[in-house]
Amino acid sequence: MGRPAAKELTERELEVMHVFWERGESTVADVREVLASRGLDRAYTTVATLVRILLEKGFLVQTNEERPFSYRPDRSYEDVSRKLLGELIDRVFRGSREALLVRLMEQKSLTATERKVLEQALGDREEERK
């Protein structure tokens, strides 16, 4: 009996999804070209297989019926990243956002830009609570 299909994204699937999130609707050839420009030279058949898997997992939808087929993301970067981060917090940090934040701060100090973005996000959350 084989393993059930994974619902999570593999590293290579995530590489492909980032291209779709950045470009929107694209063909396999488009995605392969973008990946190659980033130093990720994947065979066309490899990218086509990854796109097929992402389609089956519900991360992409096909947008036309004629070749070359085009696809677009069916799940947003925000939704996917939120879910992945939640799973990371649950699995690695046993549900503790505090532990995640401490670990992040141990890695390296915040840049001025990162600090500003964090302060803005915290301020926005405070405003939502009022």
| Range list of H helices, 9-130 | 11-23, 28-37, 44-57, 77-92, 97-107, 112-129
Residue 3's pLDDT band, with cuts at 50, 70 and 90, is: very low
Reported pTM: 0.82
27, β-bridge pairs: 70
* Measured distance between the N- and C-terminal CA atoms of the chain, rounded to whole angstroms: 54
Query: Is residue 71 a contact partner of residue 51, using CB atoms and an 8 Å limit?
Result: yes
pLDDT digits (tens, 9 = 90+) for 29-68: 999 999 999 999 999 999 999 999 999 999 999 999 999 9
Instruction: Return the CATH number of the domain spanning residue range 11-73.
Output: 1.10.10.10
Domain boundaries, the chain: 11-73, 93-129
